[in-house]
């Protein structure tokens, strides 16, 4: 085995190269999502393999909203148990359940006796070394429909970004990185849905209380798997920096770069960065959307939205779609390790992925 293919990884592309090497990727020559064929295929694969063993899907050509996208759409990135070990640098054993347990154990070793996670502060790099700056779109060139963000379910209210890391920063509140459903409303507008009392909602609500009229925001799409897992989990508490914890788990700092139109810093190796502003004195309707628990989340009459001011992206960006409600959403070993640590004096627990 070539150890260079074991994680941790700096980028989604390094991660995909490893998944290809370990034969976890199923390539689909062509598929039509306007007929929901990709969604249907994902259901069939879950039926056949279950959601812990279904393969990653790479769509060589996908039809969506009357456009054709080539080599730019991937799904079910975190489905297989084996991936947990690979992403953390553990050599696979050939037993999926054992691989997952080894991943949880390795994460548990990182957590201090006080329950705190290791942290390494991100490091700022030069723009010429940041892949996410290979292309910069501003003004009339901004068009979210240039990218394969999919409508996963017939009842969804259009195309959604469901694997984005929404990044908020403020001098007093610090940095918050969270994954929320993001509805593409038009080429330059996105609905953002942090639920009440989620950290993103608390962050924006606090800015409103301070009298702010707008909030700067960025959405990072296609980051390395550890960074995305920190974004999509409850590991970090409000006020803690998800990028610092991701660096602590990886063992080296996350490389970041300043946005083009704001003071927010974003993962430099992301596939795509969407920059913008959230008006704090206006709300719009958003939804419905097929949520992670397998049911349609209802329409919201009042929700935050962002006006896009810039898009930067790698050459030929690869956009992950998570088929929310069908597949696993992110690496779950960090979540289980966190809960095991928190409740270690009571009993071992199960998230439905392992039995201790």
User: Model confidence over 322-339: pLDDT tens digits?
Assistant: 898 888 766 776 777 777
Q: State yes or no: pLDDT of 344 exceeds 70.
A: no
Distance CA 267, CA 241 (A): 13
- Mapped to the 3 state alphabet, what secondary structure does 72-103 carry? EEEECCCCCHHHHHHHCCCCCCCCHHHHHHHH
List of domains in the chain: 3-113+331-342 (no CATH), 123-321 (2.30.110.10)
Angle 79-85-88 from CA coordinates, rounded to 5°? 110
Q: State yes or no: pLDDT of 5 exceeds 80.
A: yes
φ, ψ (nearest 5 deg) of residue 37: -70, -40
Q: What is the pLDDT of residue 335?
A: 73
Question: 238 or 328: whose pLDDT is higher?
Answer: 238
Q: What is the pLDDT of residue 37?
A: 98
Residue 293's pLDDT band, with cuts at 50, 70 and 90, is low
Close Cβ partners of 297 (under 8 Å, ≥ 6 residues apart): 181, 287, 288, 289, 290, 291
Using a pLDDT cut of 70, give the percent of the chain over it. 93
User: Model confidence over 303-320: pLDDT tens digits?
Assistant: 999 999 999 999 999 999
Distance CA 287, CA 289 (A): 5
Mean pLDDT taken over the chain: 91
Residue recorded with tokens 């295929």: 41
Give burial (CB, 10 Å; 0-12/13-18/19+) of 9. Answer: buried
User: Model confidence over 269-292: pLDDT tens digits?
Assistant: 999 999 999 999 999 999 999 886
State whether residue 254 is helix, strand or coil: coil
Residue 260's pLDDT band, with cuts at 50, 70 and 90, is very high
User: Model confidence over 120-168: pLDDT tens digits?
Assistant: 999 999 999 999 999 999 999 999 999 999 999 999 999 999 999 999 9
Distance CA 62, CA 279 (A): 34
Q: State yes or no: pLDDT of 343 exceeds 60.
A: no
Distance CA 150, CA 184 (A): 10
Alpha-carbon distance values, 23 to 27, 47, 83 (Å): 11, 20, 11
> How far out from the chain centre does Cα 355 lie?
26
Q: Which helix (H) or strand (E) holds 341?
A: helix 333-342
Alpha-carbon distance values, 123 to 32, 87, 243, 267, 292 (Å): 41, 21, 10, 10, 33
């Amino acid at each position: 085995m070539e150890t260079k293919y074991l994680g941790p990884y700096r980028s989604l592309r390094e991660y995909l190269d490893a998944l290809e090497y370990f034969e976890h990727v199923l390539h689909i020559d062509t598929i039509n999502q306007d007929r929901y064929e990709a969604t249907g295929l994902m259901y069939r694969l879950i039926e056949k393999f279950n959601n812990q063993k279904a393969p990653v899907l790479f769509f060589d050509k996908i039809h969506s909203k009357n456009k054709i996208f080539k080599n730019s759409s991937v799904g079910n990135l975190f489905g297989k148990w084996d991936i947990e070990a690979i992403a953390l640098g553990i050599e696979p054993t050939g037993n999926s359940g054992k691989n997952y347990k080894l991943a949880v154990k390795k994460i548990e070793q990182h957590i201090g006796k006080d329950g705190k996670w290791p942290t390494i502060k991100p490091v700022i790099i030069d723009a010429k070394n940041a892949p996410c700056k290979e292309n910069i779109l501003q003004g009339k060139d901004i068009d979210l429909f240039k990218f394969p963000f999919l409508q996963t379910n017939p009842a969804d209210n259009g195309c959604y970004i469901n694997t984005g890391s929404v990044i908020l920063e403020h001098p007093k509140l610090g940095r918050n990185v969270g994954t929320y459903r993001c509805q593409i409303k038009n080429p330059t507008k996105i609905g953002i849905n942090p639920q009440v009392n989620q950290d993103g909602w608390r962050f924006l609500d606090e800015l409103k209380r301070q009298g702010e009229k707008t909030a700067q925001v960025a959405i990072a799409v296609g980051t390395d798997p550890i960074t995305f897992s920190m974004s999509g989990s409850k590991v970090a508490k409000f006020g803690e920096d998800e990028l610092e914890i991701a660096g602590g788990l990886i063992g080296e700092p996350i490389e970041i770069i300043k946005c083009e139109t704001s003071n927010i810093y974003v993962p430099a190796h992301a596939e795509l960065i969407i920059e913008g502003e959230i008006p704090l004195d206006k709300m719009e309707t958003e939804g419905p959307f097929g949520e992670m628990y397998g049911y349609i989340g209802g329409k919201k009459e009042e929700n935050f939205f962002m006006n896009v001011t810039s898009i930067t992206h790698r050459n030929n960006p690869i956009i992950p779609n998570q088929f929310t409600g069908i597949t696993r959403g992110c690496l779950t070993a960090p979540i289980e390790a966190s809960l095991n640590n928190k409740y270690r004096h009571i009993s071992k627990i199960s998230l439905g992925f392992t039995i201790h």
